[in-house]
Amino acid sequence: MASDARAAEDGGAPPPRPVADGFLRFLIPAPKPRPAAPTTAPARLVPPHRLVAPPPAAPALLRPEERLHIVPPTRPDWLPPPPPRQPPAPPLRSPSPWVRPRPFPPAFGEPRTRNAGRFAGQVNGARGRSPASVAHSSGGGRSGSQKPKAAAAHKEKKAWVAVEKKGEDAGDDDRAAVSEGYSCGDETGTEAEDQLEPEGEQDTGGHRRGLDREDDAKNSLDMAANQECSGGGGERPSELVCQSNQATHSRGRMGRSQVECRPDIDTFTPGLLALYESLKPSEEHKSKQKQLVDSLAKSVSKEWPNAQLHLYGSCANSFGTSHSDVDVCLEMEIGTASTVEVLLRLADVLRADNFDNVEAITSARVPIVKMSDSGSGFSCDICINNLFAVANTKLLKDYAQIDQRLLQLAFLVKHWAKLRGVNETYRGTLSSYAYVLMCINFLQLREPKILPCLQAMEQTYTMNVDGTECAYFDEVHQLQYFGAENKESIAELLWAFFHFWAFHHDYRRDVISVRTGSTISKQEKNWTTRVGNDRHLMCIEDPFETGHDLGRVVDRQTIRILREEFERAAAVLQYNDDPCVALFEPYDYEN
């Protein structure tokens, strides 16, 4: 759980993988001597991830300094030479058509902090500003470096009128923002404040050819203006009304939603696939992970001999990259003890066995013990009796076997999200698990479909978790050719994924649902208002715990950030000369 909150860990191992060329230089293993292999022979795991017997000989461990280095990307060798740049060549980060413009400098008195970054606004900005300054701010610092010219042009197109101020006064709102942080603190915001407002016009989902780049840039700016009219993806439905720009705005969003993919998109498929291959964990990496789990199992079995150990998350669902952590669930009888008490005891046991950085996190929705292994550099989250996670791990693993484009898409999206800083649940963005569900649902919705809906098919597998039946069709070997009719390449799908989340998804009305293989309405889920910390601004239904919205962590600021990032990614893939480089450019928090 929450592995996304940690810095990417890596177990890339000597000998180094051949990644010296092109943009794959993102990932260059540091050459380090191989440490001695451990002498103990701990127990081992066999499918389906149960602790049953002693392990095979353990391979060498990586030292922490052997993690992969991220180096600045360069143009891939396989790309043709770039054509001469056409003026105006939009830089990636500011006055580009795909970055929401910040039309005005910060409001008077608004703090400008170094490294304010996109999240700083939660404390400094949007929530506590007057309606006017909310209207004029892009929020979060992501687009804070707009050129004044673009700002002025944008300003002319808008007329903002504050018509109502709901809920607390600005001062209260500020306090709410501060108390909220990005965790589970008590919040004082109102339900109404956290709902998305109706958009002037919904996307039709239809595609048409013919928008040239200039039109598209204009449309994007219009759309940005419109989104600010509509609260930038969700804020203050009745506070602000943009009078003059509604029609332009709707046209803009429509225009963007109707853009077709660039005709040469497939030329980027080889590069994206090479990146995907480089992200896959090596065999050595996997065996080191297993070694960590074996040591853990040994420690646990001393205290709880009947405990069963399950791997879950990306180390067991096939979506694990070379940066993924290890997620472990202990299934055990805890009698009258609470989960928290058992976790605190577990933390003591692990400390006594010299695991590093052991920490019990007991206030989370799913309490865990976190620890790391300094030998391998891996980190590990351990939870107790969270069998929903074990069930959804199997579901994801089964989906992954149906069409290889799911793994490819999800690896690239996860990699993008980590580098762009939008895979941090503690800051209000999305978990890796949520991104994988988004990918599955996206492929379920393609025409022709690339993935089926396993939970809507005959139930060949069932697991009862706390009275909930987790059932679906798991004979996926029968579905090998399910998506064969759809010939879309990974480059096309990646673009379409970002474009879908930037321009097609109806954030106001829809919940994505892998369970139904479609989208369902917020109304149907009763996710129309904020309840406690669950804002339901961006809704992703958990396939088995159907009352759980994986987008619950997304707030008014981070939904804006996410949408900006989806827009940026779609535009980079659409227009950039070097999309494979620019797409994965690490987000620069300093500027």
Applying CB under 6 A, which residues contact ligand CTP?
1, 3-4, 312-314, 317, 319-321, 324-325, 327, 388-389, 392-393, 431-433, 550
Residue 426 C-beta: closest distance to ligand CTP, Å: 12
Distance between CA atoms of residues 405 and 407, nearest Å:
5
Nearest to 406 by CA among 324, 502, 318: 318
Q: Tokens for 557, please give them.
A: 């600021």
**Among ligand CTP, Mg ion, none, partner that 385 touches (CB below 5 to 8 angstroms by kind):** none
Q: Rule CB under 5 A: which of 293-352 touch Mg ion?
A: 313-314, 325, 327
Which stretch in 2-10, 109-117, 401-409, 550-558 sits in contact with Mg ion by CB under 5 A?
A: 2-10
Residue 318 C-beta: closest distance to ligand CTP, Å: 10
**Among ligand CTP, Mg ion, none, partner that 389 touches (CB below 5 to 8 angstroms by kind):** ligand CTP
The Cα angle at residue 328 between residues 323 and 329, in degrees rounded to 5: 150
Residue 544 C-beta: closest distance to Mg ion, Å: 18
Closest-by-Cβ residue to Mg ion is 3
Residue 238 C-beta: closest distance to ligand CTP, Å: 32
Residue 3 interacting with Mg ion (CB under 5 A): yes
Distance between CA atoms of residues 403 and 480, nearest Å:
7
Ranges of H-type helices in 181-281: 213-229, 231-234, 246-257, 269-279
Q: Is 477 exposed, middle or buried (0-12, 13-18, 19+ CB in 10 A)?
A: exposed
Residue 322 C-beta: closest distance to ligand CTP, Å: 10
Q: What is the C-alpha end-to-end distance of the chain, expressed in Å?
A: 30
Nearest to 24 by CA among 542, 545, 584: 584
Question: Which residue, 413 or 583, is less far from ligand CTP as judged by CB?
Answer: 413
Answer for the pair 1, 383: CB distance below 8 angstroms, yes or no: yes
Question: Which residue, 271 or 313, is less far from Mg ion as judged by CB?
Answer: 313
Q: Rule CB under 5 A: which of 74-133 touch Mg ion?
A: none
Nearest to 223 by CA among 544, 589, 563: 563
Question: Which residue, 295 or 324, is less far from Mg ion as judged by CB?
Answer: 324
Answer for the pair 504, 474: CB distance below 8 angstroms, yes or no: no
Distance between CA atoms of residues 217 and 204, nearest Å:
20
Phi, psi of 364 (to 5 degrees): -70, 165
Question: Which residue, 380 or 502, is less far from ligand CTP as judged by CB?
Answer: 380
Helix H or strand E encompassing 162: strand 160-162
The count of residues interacting with Mg ion (CB under 5 A) is 5
Answer for the pair 82, 340: CB distance below 8 angstroms, yes or no: no
Residue 464 C-beta: closest distance to ligand CTP, Å: 16
Question: Which residue, 351 or 548, is less far from ligand CTP as judged by CB?
Answer: 548
Question: Which residue, 251 or 397, is less far from Mg ion as judged by CB?
Answer: 397
**Among Mg ion, ligand CTP, none, partner that 388 touches (CB below 5 to 8 angstroms by kind):** ligand CTP
Residues across the chain: 591
Question: Which residue, 229 or 389, is less far from ligand CTP as judged by CB?
Answer: 389
Residues near Mg ion (CB under 5 A) are 3, 313-314, 325, 327
